Amino acid sequence: MSPIPKTAPFAEEEIDLLNRVVGPASANQRAWLAGFLAGLDAASAGAIVTQPAASARPAEPLTIVYASESGNSEKLAGDVAKSARKSGLKPTTIDMTDLDLAALAAAKRLVVIAATWGEGEPPARSIRAYNELMGEGAPRLDGVEFGVLALGDTAYAEFCAVGKNIDERLAALGGKRIADRVDCDLDFAEPAARWIGDAIKALTPPNASGRVIEVDFGLKPAASPSTDIFEAEIIEHVDLNSSRSDKETIHLALSFEGAAPAYEPGDSLDLYPENDPAYVDELLKAAGLAGDDKLRSELIKSRDVTTLSIKTVESYAGSTGHQYVNALLADGQAKGWITGRQLIDLIATFPIALDAEKLRALTRPLAPRAYSIASSRREVGDEAHLLVSAVRYESHGRARKGVASNYVAERLKRGGRARVKLKPNKHFALPSGDRDIIMVGPGTGVAPFRAFVQERRATQAKGRSWLFFGDRTFTHDFLYQLDWQEALKDGALTRMDVAFSRDTPNKVYVQHKLWDQRSELIKWLDGGAHFYVCGDAKAMAKDVRAALVRAYADVKALSAEAAEEAVVTLELEKRYLQDTY
């Protein structure tokens, strides 16, 4: 029989023990045990039991809704469900993508875990339901007991905006806030676990404990791939732009001793970077702490020394009492001042004597950065390939460098080692091999599509595949050009359309190519093709969606509303999939 899943509400060693007893038991023995436990619990709760209530369920429901893009809120929703089951509640978990608002109105108790993306926007998949919730047609939620956990990043001006908005909206619709909202930064594990414990306690009615927990003996344990940190050797480090390009995009091949993490096409790797030692030296000098080698090493390896948020400014004002920083906050100027600036600007502009502890307290743990995996294990074995574009820009008179991308571009070398963790993304997976796929991936957005094409070649998929790629120039920025040529030759790629924005007087982008090919594109979609978009979330993803809406309107002679509806249908059918950042 199937073992008791790891998700069961028991400690790991208890699950092992139970498996040892229940595993070899006969069907008869299992049925007796289930009935016996049900009867025992019901009797001790004072109920009159005439026969074992094998199908008894926890009576008190809990609805858990998550709005997630990269999986953190989704994982926490799973933790809430686990904790709820332990408390005798019966949880139902809903991805906001699939949320029907009537389900909220029917809920008795509600937990919402919501991440914020873009510049204060909901995760792409949750936009429809989020807008409905915020819109005039949202149902009343009188008496629904709720709590909201917000995920975000203090580096963004609109910190946890979506969680905050949902929390306010639920209350405005008549919901009863039972657990106060907590806004989590990137290091959310601890505050989120604490919030879950408190919220479940607050949401559990006194009569819920001691109820029978339903055990589905037929349930297969979810085979979850390892999300441990792996150390990998860098076996290829190649700049795919020509030396005359103003960009630097590194193809990085990682080799795993033993086995690579069990990734699938569409997954990403979280890469653990180190800070630029030159930047850290400058920071230490500005803080009057040059020469503190222990602090230097800690800041390089494990602290976020670049992000400047309102929280950092408040903390600086609090710990130093700096009058000008206090004034900046008091005048309401701080939000504007931090835009485009980093921690170094704060300390260099408003210098004051700092000790190591005060400087450390201004920083948060250094977070990993996600990179789409650009390879298929079926083609590359125990390797994983990444495509990393070096982020470099200037602001407020200072040259800036993105932490992780420049760690990759400037300091990781062939033969060196990198630390990575698998970040699965089941919402950006390939369909069955007989389905057509359309992939839109300009710039580094093309990375997962190299994995898709490799996978389709290795599995000899029958479905057609069509890639839209774009970058600045054909000559200097055609990422993975040889790979695409080969794939077009061997049939792993059926079609490719390219847009090089700086090769023509009028800038041409992938959305223009989609428009040019609109009749064929709609034919593919009518035939059941899946449509994928990866890369820039700020402009590209929105422009691509708008182009597709216009394409439907034009090709099928639809009104703007009907064309929008056609794209919404693709989204609901999970045939319009995005992984944008």
The residues binding ligand FMN (CB under 6 A) are: 68-73, 115-120, 123, 151-153, 156, 158-161, 186, 537, 581
Query: Which of ligand FMN, ligand FAD, none interacts with 3 (beta carbon under 5 to 8 A by kind)?
Result: none
Residue 510 CB-density burial (10 A; 0-12 exposed, 13-18 middle, 19+ buried): buried
DSSP letter for 84, please: H
**What is the spatial distance between Cα 143 and Cα 193, in angstroms, rounded to a whole number?**
26
Stretch near ligand FAD under the rule CB under 6 A, chosen from 100-108, 234-242, 365-373, 454-462 = 365-373
422 binds ligand FAD (CB under 6 A): no
- Helix, strand, coil % (nearest 5) of the chain? 40, 20, 35
Query: Which of ligand FAD, ligand FMN, none interacts with 434 (beta carbon under 5 to 8 A by kind)?
Result: none
| Coil vs helix vs strand at 522 | helix
Query: Which of ligand FAD, ligand FMN, none interacts with 119 (beta carbon under 5 to 8 A by kind)?
Result: ligand FMN
Spatial contact of 254 and 420, defined as CB atoms under 8 Å apart: yes
Q: From the CB of 190, what's the least distance to ligand FAD, in Å?
A: 22
Q: How far is CA 13 from the centre of its chain?
A: 31
Decide whether 85 or 450 has the Cβ nearer to ligand FAD: 450
Other CB atoms closer than 10 Å to residue 456's CB: what's the count?
A: 25
Instruction: Please name the amino acid found at residue 553.
Output: A
**What is the spatial distance between Cα 201 and Cα 57, in angstroms, rounded to a whole number?**
19
Stretch near ligand FAD under the rule CB under 6 A, chosen from 219-227, 291-299, 386-394, 545-553 = 386-394
**What is the spatial distance between Cα 21 and Cα 208, in angstroms, rounded to a whole number?**
27
Q: Binder to ligand FAD among 284, 388, 420, 549 (CB under 6 A)?
A: 388
Spatial contact of 259 and 422, defined as CB atoms under 8 Å apart: no
- 321 φψ region: left (φ > 0), alpha (ψ -120 to 50), beta (else): left
Query: Which of ligand FMN, ligand FAD, none interacts with 391 (beta carbon under 5 to 8 A by kind)?
Result: ligand FAD
CB-closest chain residue to ligand FAD: 402
The 5-34 contact track toward ligand FAD, x by CB under 6 A, reads ------------------------------
Sign of CA dihedral 64, 66, 72, 75: positive
Decide whether 117 or 480 has the Cβ nearer to ligand FMN: 117
Instruction: Please name the amino acid found at residue 507.
Output: K
Q: From the CB of 372, what's the least distance to ligand FMN, in Å?
A: 12
Kindly list the distances between the CA atom of residue 110 and the CA atoms of 170, 195, 405, in Å, as whole numbers in the listed order: 10, 14, 40
Q: From the CB of 273, what's the least distance to ligand FAD, in Å?
A: 6
Q: Binder to ligand FAD among 126, 306, 375, 511 (CB under 6 A)?
A: 306
Q: From the CB of 406, what's the least distance to ligand FMN, in Å?
A: 17
Spatial contact of 554 and 566, defined as CB atoms under 8 Å apart: no
Decide whether 58 or 441 has the Cβ nearer to ligand FAD: 441
**What is the spatial distance between Cα 15 and Cα 20, in angstroms, rounded to a whole number?**
9
248 binds ligand FAD (CB under 6 A): no
Phi, psi (degrees; rounded to nearest 5) at 254: -105, 135
The site for ligand FAD, by CB under 6 A, has a size of 23
444 binds ligand FAD (CB under 6 A): yes
Q: From the CB of 192, what's the least distance to ligand FMN, in Å?
A: 10
Interaction site with ligand FAD (CB under 6 A): 70, 268, 306, 340, 369-372, 387-389, 391, 393, 395, 402-406, 444, 447, 579, 581
